[in-house]
Structure formats: structure tokens, C-alpha cells
Structure 1
Amino acid sequence: MFADIAFLLYLGHLIADYPLQTDHQAEHKAGPGLAGWRANLSHATTHVVVCGLLLALGAAVLGWRLPVLPALAALVWIGATHAVIDRRWPVAAWMRWARQESWAAAGGTAHVDQTAHIAALVVAALCLSA
């Protein structure tokens, strides 16, 4: 069940991060003030909705019996972690701490960002399949 849940959450992440993310969200989600948070939270909400729909689809098609409260907690976790990671400062701080400034300057930030998102999804999948 873990692999099924993890795959669907990853698929949801890809759908929400690429075809469903607007140019406005991508440009402003790390920006300052209310406008930045509004873009950030609308993008994170897209992740929650898409992942929630895919979990419901998985439950219907594969016969999972996901408890409602843990499933809701997993979706809140996905939305919250996505919002924080997409503020960009956590990834920048990690890359400074790990002494990866050259890699960051060469485009490595996007890879670390995606790795952080996937790690958060794996935590959600582990909790839901436990």
C-alpha cells in the first residue's frame, strides 16, 4: 500500500507543480507580504486538492480503507510543507549550510527543492500506510 500511496502523491505533486501552477504563482509564491503568501497558499492548496482527489481515487479503485483523520492530517502536512519549501529560503539556507553555493548558482536549487517536496510526500505516505 505504501508504494501505491507514494506514487499517487508523487503524481499529484507533479500535476500541481507543473501543469496546474500558474505563472503568477511561480513568480510570486516566494515574494514578500500578502501577495507572496496569497500566491504561495493558492499553489499549496492546489497540491492539497489534487493529492486529496488522487487518494480518494486510490481508495475507490484499490479498496483502501484510509482513516479520515490521518488522511486529512497527511493532506495538511503536504500543503504546509509545500508552502514552507516554496518560500525558497529553507532551500537556500540548506544549500548554504551544506556548502553548495556553487551548485545553487548553477541551477541546483530546483533539484534540492524537488527533493524536499518528495521527502515530505514520503513521510505522508509512510504515515498513511502504517
Structure 2
Amino acid sequence: MHPELIVFTAGFIALFVAHHAADYLFQTDAQSGHKAGWDEKDEQGVVLRHHHGWGANQLHAAIHSIAELVALGILAAAVSLPLSVLGTALAVAWNHLTHSLIDRRWIVRRWMTRTGSGEFVNRGGMPLVDQSMHIVAGLFPAALLLTV
């Protein structure tokens, strides 16, 4: 078997595991509620101030990056997987960038409304499409970058 294929396959699994740990085990309610921005309101519901949410967004993305580095490091040490520093850095940086953008949520909403899935938004489908986007646009390309 080709070493690049082994790195891609094993790396994808490690990135997938790290993604789920960071999104479901390590993400706080505050990060989840604020990473796409939020409105500060008074008692009557009047918006007092809009917060951009980039701080919570980048903290969440950094937790992803740490989880990925830990998972890839454990994998490399456990099975002597030949990960390059450059490939690992590119993969983690790519996933950080794509995760940050997807988690702003407007990309997910726009995709769904422009591809005929607007009603799925109303039925709670955004988290499913969000996770699909993370896999397709983030994890798969990141695993390919590990082979550099």
C-alpha cells in the first residue's frame, strides 16, 4: 500500500475523531451560542448591541486545532505514522479556517436556501448540513494535506 494512502486514511480518522471531540465534548454552551455573533437585548427584547462573535468562534476553532494536533500526535506515536510537520501544519490551518467560516452559520443557511432546502432549515436541519460541510470542505481536504 502507498504511504500517502495510509497517511490520508489514518489521518482522516484522527481528524474525524478530533472534530467530534472538539464539537461535542469540549464546546461550551457559550461558544456554541456566541461563535456566529449575537445580540445583547434589554428586558423588553430591544437590541442594545450586536456582538460579532469572533472571539468565541476563534476559541472554538483553536480547541479544534489542539484536539487535531493531539489526535494526530497520538496516532503518529502509536503506529509510527510518518506525518510531516508541513503537512500537519497545513491540515490543521486549513481545518481551522474552514471550521471558523462554516461556524459563522450564514454559509450553511445560504447553502440550504439556495439549493432548495430552506424548509429543512425550519425543521432543524442546519446542524446536519453544518457537520456535512465540516467533513466535505474541512476534514477531507485536511486529510489530503497531511500527505504533503
Counterpart in 2 of 1:77?
94
The two structures have a TM-score, normalised by structure 2, of: 0.83
Counterpart in 2 of 1:24?
30
**Aligned match for 2:144, one of 104, 126, 129:** 126
The two structures have a TM-score, normalised by structure 1, of: 0.94
Q: Deviations over 1:45-67 (max 9, x none)?
A: 00000001111111111111211
Counterpart in 1 of 2:84?
67
Q: Deviations over 1:73-99 (max 9, x none)?
A: 110111111000000000011011101
Counterpart in 2 of 1:39?
56
Q: State the one-letter code of the partner of 1:15.
A: A
Distance 1:78 1:34 in 2: 24
- What is the identity percentage for the equivalent residue pairs of Structure 1 and Structure 2? 39
Q: CA deviation at 1:34?
A: 6.0
Q: CA deviation at 1:22?
A: 0.7
**Aligned match for 2:12, one of 6, 22, 36:** 6
Counterpart in 1 of 2:116?
99
Q: State the one-letter code of the partner of 1:100.
A: S
Distance 1:35 1:100 in 2: 26
Q: CA deviation at 1:35?
A: 5.4
Moved more, 62-71 or 10-19: 62-71
The alignment covers a number of residue pairs equal to 130
Contact 2:102 / 2:133 at 8 angstroms: preserved in 1?
A: yes
Q: CA RMSD in A?
A: 1.4
Moved more, 61-70 or 82-91: 61-70
Counterpart in 1 of 2:44?
none
Bigger Rg, structure 1 or 2? 2
Contact 2:83 / 2:146 at 8 angstroms: preserved in 1?
A: yes
Task: Say which structure is richer in helix.
Answer: 1
Q: State the one-letter code of the partner of 1:129.
A: T
Q: Which runs of 5+ in 2 are unaligned?
A: 1-5, 39-49
Moved over 4 A (4+): 32-35
SS at match of 1:18: helix
Task: Say which structure is richer in strand.
Answer: 2
